[in-house]
Structure 1
């Protein structure tokens, strides 16, 4: 399934003009084992991907309007940092072309991932997806899952600026679904159906875990897991900072691993264990 030793993996970046996409193109260009063969950004199609990414010289890779057009140049892995409503079509086009996929786009639902997994398995290809490709975000998830073995009461708060369109964040959604599966003790909080007042005040329930999304100016991407026991509490927090570098590093790891397994793997920890 992997490339012949010494042959770079051919990569397409969808969302080439985005915050992560631009830095990812720079990183792929700098990596000796990767080569950019395609880039997608509908609003700036026709421009050179290297110029858009801020490289000193053009790459000779023209940005295309669609993933289908970009696939014509040949690829081994498609990386998607676009919008949740576009991801399934992009991944489907890649898988149909025999190309594995890495999904960094947030906002997908459990049903979306279920269907993507089915598509990937039907074609004996791998798809790697993470709500957050940061290594420290992976540790937030890992430490939270450890705590969930001993504490049944848990809630999540995710923070972002006012323009972030998806709620909850991909990090918070992925974390809530994992905690729902890992929790071994029942919560003691009163069921939402039994509370007085607007049920929305208790947040959205993902699986069985309440999630609260704060969207205000001056906030950076952050996610907190709150655990409570009688007389004590535990908070585990991840702050993303202002650079795309943490996401780029994890995405590069996923690109290099995604052709080593079949089906969908979610979360950077699951990808690294492949």
Structure 2
């Protein structure tokens, strides 16, 4: 694609949204078309993220920004409650969605893919934009072929809304694609405290830890006879996701249909 990619940032006032605004303002390949946030409206988007004023004011009306035209893509880091409606709205106006918000059902993803194809545009829903996290998922899927007994433990701050995380769910899906369902543990196992064994997924368990002071970590623990294997990824700051966001923006300009998972872009 020639020229800059014009980007609407939805959820611009949030912690991830601010990083995206900063990325778009500082990257020569990108251009900020609009910044949307209900709580931070009427502020200059540049000032909002600690940069010089850029002349674009944060507004609360996503549809007005989409209807104004001129945007190529929308990055959304909002909430699971609003992400589906935001994505469908962007597609309606022919703006390519790049979604970091989690909580989509398989049926919603299928419907959004259909809408993208009808409009002839590309889209992306990525539970995680970290290249390191994607490699962790791929390595875990590879290991599961040889170590079918496993559990996933994911750690996030205590303000995260969904559990398990989208990253953990995507990891589980990738593992299940190469591993037949195997119900692990003692068949007579009994939970003395309900939920203590974690969430059940295709025979294995997913555990969600929520604590203040934690940013984002995930580990997949494999057990075999006489040995264990742990594959772990740790994120320390949100800026680490931005190279993935930029790559996502570039990729959605090249294809038609909605892609679920940033792993499709990492060979």
The two structures share one fold, judged by TM-score above 0.5: yes
Other-structure match for 1:89: 85
Other-structure match for 1:223: 218
Work out which of the residue numbers 186, 189, 193 in structure 2 matches 1:195: 189
* 1:17-166 superposed matches below 5 A: 17-56=13-52, 58-71=53-66, 72-166=68-162
Measured in 1, the distance between the counterparts of 2:32 and 2:87 equals 18
Measured after TM superposition, the shift of residue 28 of structure 1 is 1.1
Relative to structure 1, is the Cα distance of residues 190 and 258 closer, same or farther in structure 2, using a 3 angstrom cutoff? farther
Other-structure match for 1:246: 240
Other-structure match for 2:230: 235
Measured after TM superposition, the shift of residue 112 of structure 1 is 3.1
Measured in 2, the distance between the counterparts of 1:115 and 1:203 equals 30
Measured after TM superposition, the shift of residue 14 of structure 1 is 0.5
Measured after TM superposition, the shift of residue 23 of structure 1 is 1.9
Measured after TM superposition, the shift of residue 106 of structure 1 is 2.4
Please report the TM-score for the alignment, with normalisation by the length of structure 2: 0.92
Work out which of the residue numbers 248, 257, 261 in structure 1 matches 2:251: 257
Measured in 1, the distance between the counterparts of 2:79 and 2:234 equals 22
What is the aligned length?
265
Relative to structure 1, is the Cα distance of residues 63 and 208 closer, same or farther in structure 2, using a 3 angstrom cutoff? farther
3-state DSSP class of the match of 1:202?
Answer: coil
Measured in 2, the distance between the counterparts of 1:69 and 1:117 equals 23
Return 5+ residue gaps in structure 2 as ranges. none
Please report the TM-score for the alignment, with normalisation by the length of structure 1: 0.90
3-state DSSP class of the match of 1:260?
Answer: coil
Mapped contact 1:152–1:188 kept (Cα < 8 A): no
Measured in 1, the distance between the counterparts of 2:114 and 2:189 equals 38
Measured after TM superposition, the shift of residue 187 of structure 1 is 4.8
Deviations 1:104-135 (A, max 9, x none): 11233333323322322232221112111011
Measured in 1, the distance between the counterparts of 2:198 and 2:111 equals 26
Measured in 2, the distance between the counterparts of 1:115 and 1:66 equals 24
Other-structure match for 1:214: 209
Measured after TM superposition, the shift of residue 271 of structure 1 is 3.0
Measured after TM superposition, the shift of residue 190 of structure 1 is 4.2
Mapped contact 1:220–1:240 kept (Cα < 8 A): yes
Measured in 1, the distance between the counterparts of 2:154 and 2:51 equals 34
Other-structure match for 2:166: 170
Measured after TM superposition, the shift of residue 76 of structure 1 is 0.6
Deviations 1:226-257 (A, max 9, x none): 1111221111111111x211111110110011
Relative to structure 1, is the Cα distance of residues 73 and 43 closer, same or farther in structure 2, using a 3 angstrom cutoff? farther
Relative to structure 1, is the Cα distance of residues 255 and 208 closer, same or farther in structure 2, using a 3 angstrom cutoff? farther
Name which of structure 1's ranges 18-27 and 8-17 shifts more when overlaid on structure 2: 18-27
Relative to structure 1, is the Cα distance of residues 156 and 101 closer, same or farther in structure 2, using a 3 angstrom cutoff? same
3-state DSSP class of the match of 2:115?
Answer: helix
Measured after TM superposition, the shift of residue 185 of structure 1 is 7.2
